[in-house]
Amino acid sequence: MWGRGWIYTAEGEPDEQAIVVCRRCHQSAPHCDGCGVPVGSNHVALPDGRHICPRCHRTAIYDQARGRELFERVAHIVTGQLGLGLNVGADFTLVDHHHLQRLAAEAPDDLPADPARVVGLFARKGHRRVMYLLSGLPQILFIQVAAHEWAHAWEGENCPLLRDPLVREGFAEWVAHRTLRALGAVKKVVLMEQQEGMYGEGLRRMLALERRGGADGVLDFCRRAE
């Protein structure tokens, strides 16, 4: 908060100008479901009820083909730089908010987030493994979520006894953090390190392990953890 207004800055976009919003608009206007900024009449209204501001809309992923292209880029970084290949593999698909909310509600009880706030989900469907990502995510958030869900898929294959949610989510955030570092998203990774709650605490724990033992130290720790 600043004076009688609110200042919003764009995550991961260091050259983007800050947006100053008055108290009235902050309280009464709908907020962007991508970045949280109050939106005006020029926002994009999605069929599933979400509001996307022009800044997020500029890089948002709505198309399955574009999403798969970006997802494969993330997979290339995660497997090439961290060695997190999958034996079974996983499909990828974009879904709207209502579809993802239903999938999250059907997920195991240890899902760490409110189903209404989930933006990505790794799920087992019989013999299939599927990574669901919410359509309309800004590109940088899409990359973060895709890497996070890939990490959960790797955990399922390599850490079957891992139950501690702090370690599970911290490791997944660490994989996303490493992916964004590889792409030069400096501002975004700093924001990830500063986030509160389980995701931020877990990430900071993994970063401490990385400083002591490198990436191999993090992977070994997760393989042994329960």
Q: What are the pLDDT digits (tens) for 100-158?
A: 999 988 876 566 666 678 999 998 877 778 999 999 999 999 999 999 999 999 999 99
Inform me whether the pLDDT recorded for 99 exceeds 50. Answer: yes
Percent of the chain with pLDDT strictly greater than 90: 65
Tens digits of residue pLDDT in 178-212: 999 999 999 999 999 999 999 999 999 999 999 99
Q: Are residues 19 and 108 in the same domain?
A: no
Residue 163's pLDDT band (boundaries 50, 70, 90)?
A: confident
Inform me whether the pLDDT recorded for 23 exceeds 80. Answer: no
Q: Are residues 81 and 145 in the same domain?
A: yes
> Which residue pairs, CB below 8 angstroms and at least 24 apart, start in 45-49?
46/96, 46/97, 46/135, 46/136, 47/96, 48/96, 48/97, 48/98, 49/97
Domain total of the chain: 2
Q: Are residues 107 and 9 in the same domain?
A: no
Q: Are residues 52 and 70 in the same domain?
A: no
Q: Are residues 115 and 69 in the same domain?
A: yes
Cα 9 to the center of its chain, rounded Å: 18
Domain span including residue 175: 64-224
Q: Are residues 19 and 79 in the same domain?
A: no
Give the per-residue pLDDT at 12. Answer: 45
Q: Are residues 183 and 116 in the same domain?
A: yes
Instruction: Using alpha carbons, select from 202, 219, 73, 204 the residue that is nearest to residue 146.
Output: 73
Give the per-residue pLDDT at 15. Answer: 47
Q: Which of 38, 57, 76 finishes a domain?
A: 57
* Mean pLDDT on 31-55: 88
Give the per-residue pLDDT at 2. Answer: 43
Q: Are residues 53 and 146 in the same domain?
A: no
CA-to-CA distance for 56 and 74, rounded, in angstroms? 20
* Mean pLDDT on 45-60: 93
Q: Are residues 84 and 159 in the same domain?
A: yes
